[in-house]
């Protein structure tokens, strides 16, 4: 068992000799960062977890080949990035319903059937992301927490895999061109070219203002008021109250259902019919995902006599109005947020 105060060099020597605890001491400080990196690349919690596990297995097996010419951090990011690139080769990019389905639907009609294939971006609980409200380094373009916002993750999925990796390495993690090239086994010129093309795609898809900038401008007191108002209105099934919180062109999406709605009145009409106009009562629990306000929605179930997990909803804000509600209608997500399957 290694002393807790052992240096990185001591841990590395012991790990190379087969000490699993020493290896854990080496890599544990990077687990959250690697998980965030893989999530940016893959837009899936499950895929990111698998990629991190594969990364650490490959690092353990290849530790004897780590010569220390790069930092341990860079070596781990090299493995993780290439693991993610191979995952992307095997499956389609993930999207949100607005990028997948046809235009805004008629709120009076039935919604489409949920898609069973894994095409949807997944939310990520803030507690599982080792990110801060700051730049990773002088070469970074985006704050760490900005780079996990839902809009940013969705924009990344429109990039070819190599461009996605380059943009994340350069603009999020702050690696310079030569470092990014070394991680990707490429050249600085190729990295620069890929980065310029990635900017052209991503910049047109991102809002003018990040959610982090919006939240800072609101301040804690106003944000708390908005969250409390949302919870109260939903639990009282107050459609008019919720509509008053929406921006004029607000959207509602409900993955894995491909149907989505745009416009305050359209969204309100849908909510009035379902889910708030019929059925049982609701309970709403606050949480956080992707650096944004989020909620666990529970609906009363007559069979169990309790409130059963239904959706994880993320709010995207424009000033003090809601510009989008992304309601992930997948109860399996609740465990990722530490939320129970049922409330009594």
How far apart CA 129 and CA 78 sit, in angstroms, is 19
Q: Positive or negative, the Cα torsion across 171, 174, 177, 183?
A: negative
User: Is residue 20 domain-resident?
Assistant: yes
For residues 182-189, give the mean pLDDT. Answer: 96
User: Is residue 52 domain-resident?
Assistant: yes
pLDDT in tens, 251-275: 999 999 999 999 999 999 999 988 9
**Final residue of a domain: which of 91, 113, 141?**
91
pLDDT at 3 over 60: no
pLDDT-derived band of residue 125, with 50, 70 and 90 as boundaries? very high
Q: Assign residue 177 a region: left if phi > 0, alpha if psi is -120 to 50, beta otherwise?
A: alpha
Residues 150/314, Cβ–Cβ less than 8 Å = yes
User: Is residue 148 domain-resident?
Assistant: no
pLDDT-derived band of residue 316, with 50, 70 and 90 as boundaries? very high
pLDDT-derived band of residue 135, with 50, 70 and 90 as boundaries? low
**Final residue of a domain: which of 25, 56, 91?**
91
Q: What is the count of structural domains for the chain? A: 2
User: Is residue 134 domain-resident?
Assistant: no
User: Is residue 271 domain-resident?
Assistant: yes
pLDDT-derived band of residue 119, with 50, 70 and 90 as boundaries? confident
**Final residue of a domain: which of 91, 126, 159?**
91
pLDDT in tens, 67-112: 777 889 999 999 999 999 999 998 888 999 998 867 666 776 767 7
3-state SS string for the chain: CCCCCCCHHHHHHHHHCCCHHHHHHHHHHHHHHHHHHHHHHHCCHHHHHHHHHHHHHHHHHCHHHCCCCCCHHHHHHHHHHHHHHHHHHHCCCCECHHHHCCCCCCCCCCCCCCCCCCCECCCCEHHHCCCCCCCCCCCCCCCCCHHHCHHHHHHHCCCCHHHHHHHHHHHHCCCCHHHHHHHHCCCHHHHHHHHHHHHHHHHCCCCCCCHHHHHHHHHHHHHHHHHHHHHHHHHCCCHHHHHHHEEEEEEEEECCEEEEEECHHHHHHHHHHCCCCCCCCEEEEEEEECCEEEEEEEEEECCCCEEEEEEEEEEEEECCEEEEEEEECCHHHHHHHCCCCEEC
User: Is residue 324 domain-resident?
Assistant: yes
pLDDT of 141 = 87
pLDDT at 114 over 80: no
User: Is residue 146 domain-resident?
Assistant: no
Share the mean pLDDT of the chain: 91
Percentage of the chain modeled with pLDDT above 90? 76
pLDDT of 101 = 67
pLDDT of 4 = 47
Residues 65/74, Cβ–Cβ less than 8 Å = no
Cβ neighbours for 229, distance < 8 A, ≥ 6 positions apart: 241, 245
Q: Which domain holds residue 305?
A: 218-343
| Cis bond before residue 37 (omega within 30° of 0) | no
pLDDT in tens, 145-169: 899 999 999 999 999 999 999 999 9
For residue 251, give the CATH number of its domain: 3.10.450.50
Structure tokens at 95: 């999207």
Q: Is the pTM of this model over 0.85?
A: yes
User: Is residue 101 domain-resident?
Assistant: no
For residue 8, give the CATH number of its domain: 1.10.1740.10
């Amino acid at each position: 068992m290694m002393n807790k105060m052992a240096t990185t060099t001591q841990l590395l020597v012991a790990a190379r000799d087969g000490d699993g605890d020493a290896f854990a001491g080496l890599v544990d400080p990077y687990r959250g960062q690697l998980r965030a990196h893989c999530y940016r690349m893959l837009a899936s919690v499950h895929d990111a977890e698998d990629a991190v596990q594969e990364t650490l297995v490959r690092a353990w097996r290849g530790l004897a080949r780590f010569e220390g010419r790069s930092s341990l951090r860079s070596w781990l990011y090299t493995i993780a990035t290439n693991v993610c690139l191979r995952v992307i080769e095997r499956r389609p990019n993930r999207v949100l319903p607005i990028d997948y389905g046809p235009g805004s639907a008629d709120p009076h009609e039935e919604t489409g059937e949920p898609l069973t294939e894994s095409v949807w971006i997944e939310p990520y609980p803030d507690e599982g992301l080792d990110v801060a409200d700051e730049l990773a380094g002088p070469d970074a373009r985006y704050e760490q927490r900005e780079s996990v916002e839902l809009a940013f993750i969705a924009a990344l999925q429109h990039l070819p895999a190599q461009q996605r990796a380059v943009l994340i390495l350069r603009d999020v993690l702050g690696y310079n061109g030569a470092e990014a090239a070394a991680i990707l086994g490429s050249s600085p010129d190729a990295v620069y070219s890929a980065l310029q093309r990635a900017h052209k795609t991503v910049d047109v898809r991102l809002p003018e203002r990040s959610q982090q900038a919006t939240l800072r401008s609101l301040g804690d007191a106003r944000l708390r008021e908005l969250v409390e108002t949302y919870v109260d209105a939903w639990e009282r099934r107050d459609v008019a109250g919720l509509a008053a919180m929406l921006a004029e062109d607000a959207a509602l999406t409900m993955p894995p259902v491909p149907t989505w709605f745009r416009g305050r009145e359209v969204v309100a009409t849908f909510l009035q019919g379902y889910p708030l106009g019929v059925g049982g009562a609701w309970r709403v629990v606050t949480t956080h995902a992707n650096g944004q306000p989020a909620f666990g929605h529970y609906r009363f179930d007559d069979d169990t006599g309790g409130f059963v997990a239904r959706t994880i909803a993320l709010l995207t804000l424009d000033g003090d109005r809601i510009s989008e509600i992304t309601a992930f209608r997948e109860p399996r997500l609740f465990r990722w947020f530490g939320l129970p399957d049922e409330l009594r």
